[in-house]
């Protein structure tokens, strides 16, 4: 059924059964603050940031976890709701190392997004409440190369744990302890390297407070924020073609730029839905690696490789292929393309095989 209606701040919302108040409000352009919500995850209703008022109901309800019902009259921005949001955000900030979050260098130079601070500023929440002593445990030194956890920034919203279970399906991390000591832990406090963790970095991406951060960014500490530019591109590690954002320090390398971090686009905007794997998110050192081949090499009679022009390299490859075809026949040749090539490049490769060398021996490794 699609003809049910409710109102949100007086605007009529038409909805389908099962749609949440938050989803309908988002469609209408109504801002509802959230912290534990991630559209990739089942609603948890854990943080209570998104509470709204429904006419006739005594208690505020979480918009992210409450389905719309026909005739509901919802108010998301009256005085009661706003007072609740301000108080709640202030309480989260008191239990959160806001000095470290986004303002002083953390594992990634303090440049991870911090939705908690952004919301507190947007809702004008008092930010000067005394900070509580942190009693939340971190993990003992974890030798994994990519994911850092800073317990003093965690608000125990469980987004990271739910992401790990529901999207990555590995449950490498879990919520542990009770009350103010609630924290994110691994089995027996092991390093992520000794768990089922796939080092996808999705927990970093979904964390709303910067408690999960990257250990890796190459030189984020030294990058001025106005020198950082995001460039959308397609990952070339496999044939899936995930979209990713290269965070480029445009002032580095004599103005040629340098990739210092890779992030995923917002969930719901690209086919990979905000997810990346370990290679896409972390394996970018090769871009500026000193041993990276940037010039073609050819081997001379002495067996040694030497630098050559592209024209010479193409000519040598063509001569070699023609020689084999002349001696052993065209079907002695086989062409193997790559899932890291674009569709157009793969098309050209089969043209080369079939039209130039008259053989159907053409394969591409993403033939799955």
Asked whether position 154 contacts ligand SF4 by CB under 6 A, the answer is yes
Asked whether position 23 contacts ligand FES by CB under 6 A, the answer is no
Which two tokens mark 312? 């010479």
User: Considering only residues 46, 61, 119, 173, which one is a binding residue for ligand FES as defined by CB under 6 A?
Assistant: 46
Footprint of ligand FES on 57-76 (CB under 6 A): 62, 64-65
Which two tokens mark 346? 């793969």
Footprint of ligand SF4 on 119-148 (CB under 6 A): 147
34 vs 206, beta carbon nearer ligand FES: 34
As a whole number of angstroms, the distance between CA 316 and CA 337 comes to: 19
Which two tokens mark 142? 């974890």
Asked whether position 296 contacts ligand FES by CB under 6 A, the answer is no
Q: What are phi and psi of 40, to 5 degrees?
A: -85, -10
Question: Locate tokens 């994110």: which residue?
Answer: 184
38 vs 150, beta carbon nearer ligand FES: 38
284 vs 357, beta carbon nearer ligand SF4: 284
User: What number of CA atoms fall less than 13 Å from residue 198's CA on the CB side?
Assistant: 17
- Binding span for ligand SF4 by CB under 6 A among 23-31, 71-79, 168-176, 326-334: 168-176
Footprint of ligand FES on 112-151 (CB under 6 A): none
How many helices (H) and strands (E) would you count in the chain? 8, 16
Q: How far is CA 173 from CA 128, 146, 147, in A?
A: 32, 15, 12
Question: Locate tokens 């002032």: which residue?
Answer: 251
- SS3 assignment, position 84: helix
As a whole number of angstroms, the distance between CA 262 and CA 280 comes to: 8
Asked whether position 48 contacts ligand FES by CB under 6 A, the answer is yes
- In sequence order, the 6+-apart residues with CB closer than 8 A to the CB of 174 are 161, 184, 185, 186, 187
- Binding span for ligand SF4 by CB under 6 A among 73-81, 107-115, 191-199, 307-315: 191-199
Helix 79-94 vs helix 115-122: angle between axes, to the nearest 10 degrees? 140
Asked whether position 47 contacts ligand FES by CB under 6 A, the answer is yes
Q: How far is the CB of 89 from ligand FES (least distance, A)?
A: 12
Asked whether position 257 contacts ligand SF4 by CB under 6 A, the answer is no
159 vs 261, beta carbon nearer ligand SF4: 159
Burial of 235 (0-12, 13-18, 19+ CB in 10 A): buried
Q: Among ligand SF4, ligand FES, none, what binds residue 45 when CB lies within 5 to 8 Å by partner kind?
A: ligand FES
Q: Are 175 and 161 in contact (CB under 8 A)?
A: yes
Which two tokens mark 159? 């987004």
Asked whether position 155 contacts ligand FES by CB under 6 A, the answer is no
Strand order in the sheet with 228-234: 228-234, 243-249, 258-263
User: Considering only residues 111, 159, 216, 261, which one is a binding residue for ligand SF4 as defined by CB under 6 A?
Assistant: 159
Q: How far is the CB of 86 from ligand SF4 (least distance, A)?
A: 20
- Binding span for ligand SF4 by CB under 6 A among 3-11, 169-177, 253-261, 320-328: 169-177
Asked whether position 36 contacts ligand FES by CB under 6 A, the answer is yes
Which CB contacts under 8 angstroms, 24+ apart, belong to 315-319? none
Asked whether position 209 contacts ligand SF4 by CB under 6 A, the answer is yes
User: Considering only residues 21, 61, 72, 200, which one is a binding residue for ligand SF4 as defined by CB under 6 A?
Assistant: 200
Which parts of this chain interact with ligand SF4 (CB under 6 A)?
147, 154-160, 163-164, 168, 170, 172-173, 184, 192, 197-203, 206-207, 209, 211-212
Which parts of this chain interact with ligand FES (CB under 6 A)?
34-37, 45-50, 62, 64-65
């Amino acid at each position: 059924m699609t003809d049910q209606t409710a109102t949100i701040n007086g605007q009529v919302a038409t909805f389908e059964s099962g749609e949440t108040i938050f989803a309908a409000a988002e469609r209408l352009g109504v801002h509802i603050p959230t912290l534990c919500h991630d559209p990739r995850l089942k609603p948890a209703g854990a943080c209570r940031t998104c509470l709204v008022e429904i006419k006739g109901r005594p208690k505020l309800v979480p918009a992210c976890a409450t389905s719309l019902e026909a005739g509901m009259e919802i108010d998301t921005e009256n005085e009661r709701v706003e007072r609740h949001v301000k108080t709640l955000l202030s309480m989260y900030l008191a239990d959160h190392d806001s000095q470290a979050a986004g303002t002083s260098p953390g594992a990634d130079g303090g440049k991870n997004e911090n939705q908690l601070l952004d919301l507190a500023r947007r809702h004008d929440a008092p930010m000067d409440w005394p900070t509580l002593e942190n009693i939340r445990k971190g993990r003992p030194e974890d030798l994994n190369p990519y994911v850092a956890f800073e317990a003093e920034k965690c608000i125990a919203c469980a987004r990271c744990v739910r992401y790990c279970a529901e999207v990555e399906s590995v449950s490498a991390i879990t919520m542990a302890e009770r009350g103010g000591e609630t924290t994110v832990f691994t089995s027996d406090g092991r390093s992520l390297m000794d768990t089922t963790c796939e080092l996808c970095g999705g927990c970093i991406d979904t964390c709303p407070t910067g408690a999960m951060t990257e250990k890796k960014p190459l030189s984020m500490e030294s990058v001025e924020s106005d020198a950082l530019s995001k460039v959308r591109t397609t990952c070339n590690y496999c044939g899936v073609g995930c979209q990713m954002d290269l965070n480029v320090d445009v002032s580095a390398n004599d103005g040629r730029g340098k990739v210092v971090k890779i992030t995923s686009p917002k969930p719901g905007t690209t086919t990979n839905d905000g997810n990346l794997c370990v290679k896409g998110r972390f394996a970018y050192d090769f871009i500026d690696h000193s041993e990276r081949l940037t010039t073609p090499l050819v081997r001379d009679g002495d067996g040694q490789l030497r630098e050559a022009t592209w024209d010479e390299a193409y000519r040598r490859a063509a001569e070699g292929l023609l020689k084999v075809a002349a001696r052993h026949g065209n079907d002695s040749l086989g062409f193997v393309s790559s899932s890291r090539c674009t569709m157009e490049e793969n098309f050209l490769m089969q043209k080369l095989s079939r039209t130039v060398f008259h053989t159907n021996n053409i394969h591409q490794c993403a033939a799955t």
